Structure 1
Amino acid sequence: MKIVSMDTFLVPPRWLFLRVRTDEGITGWGEPVVEGRAETVRAAVAELGEYLVGEDPLRIEDHWQVLTKGGFYRGGPVLSSAVAGIDQALWDIAGKAAGLPVHALLGGPVRDRVRMYAWIGGDRPADVAAEARAQIEAGFTAVKMNGSAALTPIDTPARTREVVERVAAVRDAVGENNDVVIDFHGRMSTAMARRVLPLIEPLLPLFVEEAVLPEHTPNLAALARSTSLPLATGERLYSRWDFREVLRDGIAVAQPDVSHAGGISEVRRIAAMAEAYDVTMAPHCPLGPIALAASLQLAFAIPNFLIQEQSVGIHYNQGNDVLDYLVDRTPFQFAGGFAERTSVPGLGIEVDAAAVERAAERGHRWRNPVWRYPDGSFAEW
């Protein structure tokens, strides 16, 4: 079997899909994208495709090694995301060729269903509480919220208490038998994190995500020692080498993204590393259906899995949503807040190629917002 073509599709709201075709009629799908830099990743995929077309798609590990190390300059979000989408597509082909789901090729399933969480929005405590109650009523047992809007490096007592009040409102709304995940999105300085984290400890979140920016991960060790809160990071780390330091620093939850961190092949290795440090996995995935399907295949196969992010109905998805590009939506119907394991070959979904091609005619130019402080200087989004 040989790869005969690799086509990319810019599809709304902010995604890039990859279709890899073979001479035996088997097609694999992947999702190589950096949100806000989709065109750049598309160019990287085209460059890597010069090597792959004509090659055997089943030599997944060899291709991964060549694509990540065959150039003198390595790593970073663009190259790692391009490789990630290609890797997903090759695993999809391998599963379809074998008539098996990808998790069966990774050693077989270790669980029958995967716990999912749902995103909630809102600025005021009453608003986030109402959204949280709605998701619990919909069957989810965990919700994820933004911890704050933009915060200055050392913000006021009033802004600090706003953070705590919002989290407290959600905790009251979901009760003690459900979980809350707090995502600070790297918006806090290390000093602000030291101020805020002790105040939300009594609310017992499942974990706190990106309490500091990835540039400041050397500060995570001190933060981890100073709090009982489980700290999580990883959506902006792209390889097992990037994760090496944060695993030593005492994080509780690793969050690689299967569309950024080298694909299924590399995230599986990151999970194995994390297991050695007693760290669980909550993979990042606010993306499209292919990335989510790949994430679920990993979740069924890795023993140290905690919970899975998903973006059905997330606030980013304006105009198009995850389910719009699927022939069968069943794999993403999360009864009771869980995704059920299926035996569908490959990534476990059937992509609606016609819908993808139609959407690609419109394309997108999504960019993340640029925030500024009242004094006009740049603020972390």
Structure 2
Amino acid sequence: MTTITDYELFEVPPRWLFLKVETSDGAVGWGEPVVEGRSKTVETAVEELMDNYLLGEDPADIEDHWQAMYRGGFYRGGPVLMSAIAGIDQALWDIKGKHFGAPVYELLGGKARDRVRVYQWIGGDRPADVGDAAEERVEEGLTALKMNATPELRRVDNPAAVEAAVDRVRTVRERVGDEVDIGLDFHGRVAKSMAKRIAEAVEPYEPMFVEEPVLPENNDALPHVANHTTTPIATGERMYSRWDFKEVFEQGTVDVIQPDLSHAGGITEVSKIAAMAEAYDVALAPHCPLGPIALASCFQVDANAPNALIQEQSLGIHYNEGTDELAYLEDPGVFDYEDGAVAVPDGPGLGIEIDEDYVREAAEQDVDWHNPVWRHDDGSVAEW
């Protein structure tokens, strides 16, 4: 019987954590278990799970391993544990696909599409210069963009703050026309009171969706936002299991879910979340401002899920200073996009080859990324 014999973790720029899993027959699988800004915490969780549940076990029993990692601990769920499970799960699927010489999507049931549409970020944390950036991305071949709706915002802010958000969307729409989609991310930094106002105010410019209009702990407020707009509502990057998503499905106000393949339990769990979403007529658009292993995992699920809509990716994102996801790949061309879409990677496993020498070199750098702590004018902490 083939067994899991060893693993290594690599903290690499700009803010990612890679996991390498080895088996007794020489196979290697890669995963990306990380919470941005909490990589060292997740690293410890991965070590606990690997040492207690995986070493010496058959890597093929992915579902059983997932259940053991999730249910084996009395305390479960949340970003740290689910992200640790996610990265391990990705690596196990990578090994399984390589064992059968097939991409993971074949093991999930085969392709539902040949290409996956992608979008790219513009404008930065405090959105600015969005018009020029939008034009540049469209000239590069993108057909969909996403931008932050606002900088930090007071719980009840003034008309100028609303008009600034409207002006940015208007500017992008006027620069790129009606055939380009514009996702508008509220980033959980907008309170319910302002989310209603801004969602209604930007509606004439027809965003593709408004994302995370309220914090996930305030998902009960989503119907209040939905009552003020016909724009599709998206959420889910800070929801970590099918049980977290159950409420919004039953609520009926969310049109697009955005689980993260490195936060929400990996390929195993997000495939189940996607199937649940399909039953509620909800589209899938996985969150992924992360590295190449997370993105490759997303494409495998996107390929198989009938309700997959579009895929986030981190090329050119404002967090990736000095390093991007392509640098870690033997063949960066696997993520080339044409007409705004990426051909489904069809190599075995996750469909990518990691440049291990580059990973080891990058891991020697000091990586200590944390998101900024924003404050309002009165000194109180603002949502980032």
TM range (shorter): over 0.9
Of the three residues 298, 319, 324, the one matched with 2:322 is 319
**Partners of 1:4 and 1:54 within 8 A in 2:** yes
Report the AA paired with residue 375 of structure 2: R
Give CA-to-partner distance per residue, 1:101-135, whole Å, 9 cap, x none: 00000000010000000111158988201100111
Give the 3-state SS of the residue equivalent to 1:374 in structure 2: coil
Which moved further from structure 2: 83-92 or 119-128? 119-128
Matches within 5 A, 1:1-381: 1-50=2-51, 51-121=53-123, 127-249=129-251, 250-381=253-384
Give the 3-state SS of the residue equivalent to 1:152 in structure 2: coil
Report the AA paired with residue 8 of structure 2: D
**Partners of 1:21 and 1:28 within 8 A in 2:** yes
Structure 1 gap ranges (5+): none
Inter-partner Cα distance in structure 2 for 1:308 and 1:102: 17
Inter-partner Cα distance in structure 2 for 1:325 and 1:178: 30
Inter-partner Cα distance in structure 1 for 2:323 and 2:344: 26
**Partners of 2:126 and 2:151 within 8 A in 1:** no
Structure-2 change in CA distance of 1:286 and 1:122 (3 Å): closer
Give the 3-state SS of the residue equivalent to 1:361 in structure 2: coil
**Partners of 1:32 and 1:86 within 8 A in 2:** yes
Inter-partner Cα distance in structure 2 for 1:122 and 1:65: 38
Inter-partner Cα distance in structure 2 for 1:123 and 1:56: 44
Structure-2 change in CA distance of 1:275 and 1:124 (3 Å): closer
Give CA-to-partner distance per residue, 1:9-56, whole Å, 9 cap, x none: 000110000000011111000000000000000000000011201000
Give the 3-state SS of the residue equivalent to 1:118 in structure 2: strand
Report the AA paired with residue 194 of structure 2: M
Structure-2 change in CA distance of 1:109 and 1:363 (3 Å): farther
Structure-2 change in CA distance of 1:172 and 1:123 (3 Å): farther
TM-score norm. by structure 1 comes to 0.98
**Partners of 2:93 and 2:349 within 8 A in 1:** yes
Give the 3-state SS of the residue equivalent to 2:183 in structure 1: strand
Which moved further from structure 2: 114-123 or 47-56? 114-123
Superposition deviation, residue 248 in structure 1: 2.0
Inter-partner Cα distance in structure 2 for 1:122 and 1:102: 33
Report the AA paired with residue 378 of structure 2: D
Structure-2 change in CA distance of 1:126 and 1:324 (3 Å): closer
Structure 2 gap ranges (5+): none
Superposition deviation, residue 247 in structure 1: 1.5
Report the AA paired with residue 104 of structure 1: E
TM-score norm. by structure 2 comes to 0.98
Inter-partner Cα distance in structure 2 for 1:36 and 1:96: 31
Superposition deviation, residue 332 in structure 1: 1.0
Aligned length: 381
Which moved further from structure 2: 220-229 or 279-288? 220-229
**Partners of 1:84 and 1:263 within 8 A in 2:** yes
Inter-partner Cα distance in structure 1 for 2:127 and 2:225: 26
**Partners of 1:57 and 1:93 within 8 A in 2:** yes
Give CA-to-partner distance per residue, 1:203-226, whole Å, 9 cap, x none: 111111011111110111222233
Inter-partner Cα distance in structure 2 for 1:126 and 1:305: 30
Give the 3-state SS of the residue equivalent to 1:173 in structure 2: helix
Give the 3-state SS of the residue equivalent to 1:362 in structure 2: coil
Inter-partner Cα distance in structure 2 for 1:100 and 1:338: 22
Inter-partner Cα distance in structure 1 for 2:338 and 2:318: 21
* C-alpha RMSD of matched pairs (Å): 1.2
Give the 3-state SS of the residue equivalent to 2:342 in structure 1: strand
Give the 3-state SS of the residue equivalent to 2:58 in structure 1: coil
Report the AA paired with residue 332 of structure 1: F
Report the AA paired with residue 347 of structure 1: L
State the identity %.
Answer: 59
Structure-2 change in CA distance of 1:125 and 1:97 (3 Å): closer
Structure-2 change in CA distance of 1:88 and 1:124 (3 Å): closer
Inter-partner Cα distance in structure 2 for 1:350 and 1:327: 5
Q: Which runs of 4+ in 1 moved over 4 A?
A: 122-126
Structure-2 change in CA distance of 1:123 and 1:53 (3 Å): closer
Give the 3-state SS of the residue equivalent to 2:363 in structure 1: helix
Structure-2 change in CA distance of 1:192 and 1:126 (3 Å): closer
Superposition deviation, residue 341 in structure 1: 2.1
